Amino acid sequence: MRGHLDGLLLSVLEAGPLHGYAVISTIEERSGGALELPTGTIYPALNRLERLGLLASSWQSVGERRRRCYQLTDAGRRSLDTQRGAWREFTATISAVLNPAPAPRTAR
Amino acid sequence: MTALVHETDPVEGYLAALAAAVHGPAKARTRMLAEIRDGLEDAVSAQGSIPRHHAAARALRGFGTVEEVAASCQLELTIAQTRHTSRALALTVPFLLACWYLIRTAGPSGDGQVPRVAQLVAAHLTGAATIAAVLAAAALAATGTLARWLPTPPGLPRVVAWTSTSTGAAMAVATIALLAASPSSANWPLVVLAGLFTAVSHAMVAGSARACRECARLTC
């Protein structure tokens, strides 16, 4: 799970800027509640992605409060594409092993 | 009064415990704690119209323990402090090198030279400071965009902490040597100025180095 956290965070920010709690809610919503992260650990992860230049952030007024909102940078989009490609390749490989194609019948 | 607030509001108690557990540059630390406070308040609001005390307790259950969240925050704050200390080194060392170079080439004093002790100090410290500046630049690169492709060495904060500690100590020695040498120099205003600048640099670097050592210790 931890190894895929960056990809998850980048993917929920693909549609547009979100603040920290909205990022967490979106992950839980998309996973149907199956992914329950310790939400407090998301904030340092967002800070790290910003340090790497994959996200940009700014304070914005959301409702009555000011919140730190994050959005993907161009480098973040490229990184998300790369992570999606790697994930597809990984799942295809595992799937090929777990669900092998039926062997052709040989004539007796 | 503070204890009273913590007794009545679990969120405030949690935030106080978290604030006490994490160390790092003031700006980065304040920002991270402010974001976490916002997130917790959002989580409490999302619990619906139940009493705040119960809503806060529920929100905190899904948030992670103070130890768990502090460990994640500290990792990032240690990197932020490493970058802060590296920047202090990278900014002060080139100015110091320029100062020491000026002293070396300042021209004749009463006995035809700038005091030999000042020259020797300048020569030895130039080497050490150059190494520190190169390491600081490398640390900034390794913890910045380069970290997308290369994992940051876990020992880097400790290396930066001790390099900056050594550089800070060298700056203190240089300050004493320069001020001691100034009376016998014909260019004493220049030597005194360099000494004072070295003292200011020492204060900047030594303070940041101390904070970096503390952060590195917490992420061991």
Q: pLDDT tens digits, residue range B138-189? A: 999 999 989 998 988 999 999 999 999 998 888 888 788 777 777 777 777 8
Alpha-carbon span B47 to B56, nearest angstrom: 8
pTM beyond 0.80: the answer is: yes
Cβ-Cβ pairs closer than 8 A, A with B, add up to 79
Burial of B183 per CB tally in 10 Å (0-12, 13-18, 19+): exposed
Q: Which of A40-49, B109-118, B180-189 has the highest mean pLDDT?
A: A40-49
Q: Provide, as residue numbers in chain A, all residues whose Cβ is less than 8 Å from the Cβ of B73.
A: 43-44
Task: Kindly indicate whether the ipTM for this predicted assembly is greater than 0.85, answering yes or no.
Answer: no
Per-residue pLDDT at A106: 66
Domains assigned to chain A: 5-84 (1.10.10.10)
Alpha-carbon span B111 to B15, nearest angstrom: 64
Interface of B with A (CB under 8 A): 28, 31-32, 34-36, 38-39, 41-43, 46, 62-65, 68-69, 72-73, 75-77, 79-80, 143-145, 147-148
Residue ranges per domain, chain B? 2-64, 81-219
Tell me what the mean pLDDT of segment B37-65 comes to.
88
Q: Which chain B residue is nearest to residue A24, measuring alpha carbons? A: B39
Alpha-carbon span B89 to B79, nearest angstrom: 15
Q: Provide, as residue numbers in chain B, all residues whose Cβ is less than 8 Å from the Cβ of A47.
A: 28, 32, 76
Question: How much is the CA Rg of chain B, to the nearest whole Å?
Answer: 24
CB contact under 8 A, A51 and B76: yes
Q: Which chain A residue is nearest to residue B80, measuring alpha carbons? A: A51
Task: Collapse the DSSP code of B63 into the 3-class scheme (helix H, G, I; strand E, B; otherwise coil) and give the result.
Answer: coil
Per-residue pLDDT at B187: 75
Q: What is the DSSP string of A81-96?
A: HHHHHHHHHHHHHHHH
Q: Give yes or no for a contact between B212 and B164, defined as CB atoms under 8 angstroms apart.
A: yes
